[in-house]
Structure 1
Amino acid sequence: MRAQASVLHLDLDAFFAAVEQRDKPSLRGKPVVVGGTGGRGVVSTASYEARVFGVRSAMSTREARARCPNAAYLSGRFEAYRATSQAVMTLLRSVSPLVEPLSLDEAFVDLEQAGLPDLEVPTVTAFAEDLRTRVREVTGGLTASVGIASSKFLAKIASDLRKPDGLVVVAPGTETALLHPMHVSVIPGVGPATVERLRRAGLHTVAELARVSEEELVQQVGRSLGQALHQLARAEDDRAVVPDRETKSVSVEGTYEHDLTDRRQMEAIVVRQAGEVARRMKANGLSGRTVSLKVRMYDFTTLSRSSTLPAPTEDAATIARLARALLADLDTSGGVRLLGVGVSGLADWVQEDLFATASETEDADAADTDPGQPDLPELLELEQAGARPRGTTWSPGMDVVHDEHGRGWVWGAGRGVVTVRFETAETPPGPVRSFPADDPALQRWRPPVEDPPEPQ
């Protein structure tokens, strides 16, 4: 651990749902669920109003609807999330050069590089309060929970303690006093199966865990997890804040509030992500040779695996097949908090994959039917040209504009009818109108593309 509390963890509260509530006045203060909206969908984010009913990320949409039938179920708007995330990450990088994004909605910041006069508790507390205020300003009102401690592990735990919109600073020397009374499940990687193993051994709290030797823990839960538990139970964590480098690729990833341990569920998520990546590539006329899988484990260790094809592809079945094979080679028994699929080595031509099996094609079709992830651009070139292709799918939550009524969002669609609520982030809750699904006056709306700045 560091001698001072100089690692900050920032987590945007219920991020996807909060962006939807920000942009849709009629949903403010109401339960909102973002993710796949079909029968095989997966919840990506639930608002705090929906969490009261037991809805959480990685839950099937079917179960979420049973628990909270009156929530607004939205397919998501990745462009809005990405733009908001970029604003936050730009802010964080303006205060420290060492920013490690974990996903669109959370990041570690190294305060040793932030130019503070000192790293005493009052100084970092005032800094964090100001940072949270600036986050609200750049995001249009979104809140963030922040934890500051002497390690990544403790900073992450601290940011979870007073959600939403909370701040906890763990003073140096108090780490174990905070950590030891907590249940063992607070440690990353300790999922239901491990909790049960530890319970049978009489270990319920972190303090009880800390009194056990490393050898005994290895016997109980295996070498990798046992060694990690031995260290973390003593608040020992010396990992550095490492900035991520951007890569030229098309990728989709999701972070889950509860660690994933079900292998079949992970495979389903990877297949849906592969379908989403394929849709984005097709929309932009791209293909790629290298399929990559990103897995962030329970202890924040990030694993990346890739496989390169002899020729570029943008076929969902091919991408899903390779991503599933990469996942099969990884030991995910400790729990997974982030999954992502990407394609790099981009090209503007495609060679059809002649070796996809029927079952793989069915997997891709399932992904196309219900991605389980935020809705991303489809048929971009046509829409940017102002043309709406025949058969456009109106997804719940999608931004639209009507020639007469102006801007709004899709409330629901089906049986040849699309229902729109006409409101934006800057207006009061608006009226609801229904139209034929092929009404030429109704178009998908996208924010205007900003021109790059003129060279000085």
Structure 2
Amino acid sequence: MSAPTVPPLPDRLIAHLDMDAFYASVELLRYPELKGLPVVIGGRRDHAPRLRPDGTREFARLRDYTGRGVATTSTYAARDLGVFSAMGLMKAALRAPDAILLPTDFERYRHYSRLFKAAVAEIAPVIEDRGIDEIYIDLSEVPGAREAVGHDPLGGVRALAREIKNSVFSATGLTCSIGVTPNKLLSKIASELDKPDGLTVLTRDDIPGRIWPLAVRKINGIGPKAAAKLNALGIETVGQIAAAEPLWLIQNFGKSYGAWLHEASHGRDNRPVVTHSEPVSISRETTFERDLHAVHDKAELGAIFTELCEQLARDLARKGYQGRTVGLKLRFEGFVTVTRDLTLDQPIADAAAIRRAAGSCLKRVDLSKRLRLLGVRIGNLSRPGEALQLKPARRAPARKPGPSEDKAAPRLESLELF
């Protein structure tokens, strides 16, 4: 029996990352006792919690609010009660009088915004900043994104998106939702489909089943007025727009907007991910055709390790960079990903130096399980000859094996990579 035909991946793999109920989630880190409760952000400073004599906190309730303020955001529990962002707080109090009311703290939100974006940039540096809680990411050329996992041609990009989600959570303690599709328009929609903590990967083949049944407002660019006009014309879903004649759409909505409605409903969008920033890091990685063991496959692993470092050195030379922070990435059987990094006193760019630094990182990893992926990264980039403001080098901490670690587990020495 012949193997099933694997459809080619799209030319572009664009992700939209949206933090889940961002402001409210940041506040829940500060007030964990509110987890699972309806909470609305948007109050004044005098709505800050007060400390009771017994050490517990007393929170303001929405029913006691008076004024003309609006909700900045709300937790999902509050949304279940009908309270959403931009809703007047007096109106929200009628729907959820017992909801907790907290003041906004934009300085704190901006801090967490910087944290999550830096975490993403370490993995996928081509980012378009769309605000405090959302970004577009071009994954098209990120190492591993186009590698199939088994019979799943999208397995590599799924694993990459999971890695981004895990990195965001590790850096912030917050969850995010990611949609990955061939373009920005579809990815924006996809990131909303499985919230919170969602991961949705769609191709053009998924448009009829996942996109066309949605209400027209789900397309970013169809506002309340356009949606009302579409509804009045008997069009309520994206699929109904797609089925409409382009000329009819132009006659009713004008040449430009009508043509755009037709294109958008079919999931067409050629806008690039726009970024003018310098890369944060450069990486090379590979997924093995079979899982490799540190002892039994040490020669093969050594050759792969050397080649990755040489590829990375060539990338640095081609792009004109050097770097001080060398990182190692390993994915073990079961999709467990481990990373280690080391910051040096001076920037490096040659393959041998990169290999030595990455080897130092490797000494800090338990290699008893089989490997399915190996990657090397270099960050803290600069141009040769640039004046550097050097941070102290970060040395690998001295440590003893934990109680759950096998002291005889194979490490760098048994790999004989050097």
Is 1:16 the equivalent of 2:48? no
Q: Is this contact kept in 1: 2:179–2:189, CA < 8 A?
A: yes
Aligned with residue 219 of structure 1, among 251, 256, 260: 251
Give yes or no for contact 1:189–1:225 (8 Å, CA) kept in 2: no
Identity fraction in percent: 37
What's the offset of the Cα at 1:231?
A: 0.8
Amino acid at match of 1:171: T
Residue of structure 1 aligned with 2:107, choices 76, 79, 86: 79
Q: Which of 161, 168, 173 is residue 128 of structure 1 equivalent to?
A: 161
Q: Within 5 Å, which residues of 2 pair with 1:265-284?
A: none
Compare CA radii of gyration and give the structure with the larger one: 2
Q: CA deviation at 1:27?
A: 1.6
1:87, 1:24 → 2: CA distance? 19
| 1:33 matched residue in structure 2 | 40
Number of the residue aligned with 2:138: 110
Paired amino acid for 1:129: R
Decide which of 175, 184, 190 is 2:216's aligned counterpart. 184
Report what 1:69 is aligned to. 97
Equivalent residue letter for 1:14 = A
Find the partner of 1:194 among 207, 210, 226. 226
Task: Give the TM-score of the pair, scaled to structure 2.
Answer: 0.56
Deviation of 1:104 after TM superposition, in Å, equals: 1.1
8 Å CA contact 2:177–2:195 kept in 1: the answer is yes
In structure 2, the CA distance between the partners of 1:61 and 1:224, relative to structure 1 (3 Å rule), is: farther
How large is the RMSD of aligned CA atoms in angstroms? 2.3
Give the SS at the match of 2:196: coil
Instruction: State the secondary structure of the residue aligned to 2:143.
Output: coil
Offset from partner CA, 1:310-338 (integer Å, 9 cap, x none): xxxxxxxxxxxxxxxxxxxxxxxxxxxxx
The residue that corresponds to 2:87 in the other structure is: 59
Secondary structure, counterpart of 2:72 in structure 1: strand
Q: Look up the equivalent residue of 1:48 and give its one-letter code.
A: Y
What does 1:348-367 align with in structure 2 at a 5 Å threshold?
none
Displacement of 1:16 in angstroms is: 0.2
* Structure 2 unaligned spans of 5+: 1-8, 45-65, 148-152, 279-388, 394-418
Secondary structure at the aligned position of 2:84 is classed as: coil
- Out of 69, 74, 92, the residue aligned to residue 120 of structure 2 is 92
Q: Pick closer, same or farther for the CA change 1:225–1:244 going to 2, 3 Å.
A: farther
Q: Is the 8 A contact 1:31 1:47 kept in 2?
A: yes
Q: Which amino acid aligns with 1:238?
A: N
Deviations 1:6-29 (A, max 9, x none): 111111100000000111122222
The ranges of structure 1 where at least 4 consecutive aligned residues each deviate by more than 3 angstroms after the TM superposition are 452-456
CA separation in 2, counterparts of 1:182 and 1:50? Answer: 23
Query: Which residue of structure 2 lines up, in the alignment, with residue 326 of structure 1?
Result: none
Partner of 1:405: none
Structure 1 counterpart of 2:189: 157
Question: C-alpha deviations, 1:155-181, integer Å up to 9, x for none?
Answer: 111110111111111034333442222
Amino acid of the residue matched to residue 140 of structure 2?
Answer: E
Q: Distance in 2 between the 1:230 and 1:117 partners?
A: 30
Residue 21 of structure 1 aligns to a residue in which SS? Answer: helix
Distance (Å, rounded) in 2 between the aligned partners of 1:113 and 1:88: 21
Measure, in 2, the Cα distance between the counterparts of 1:182 and 1:172.
15
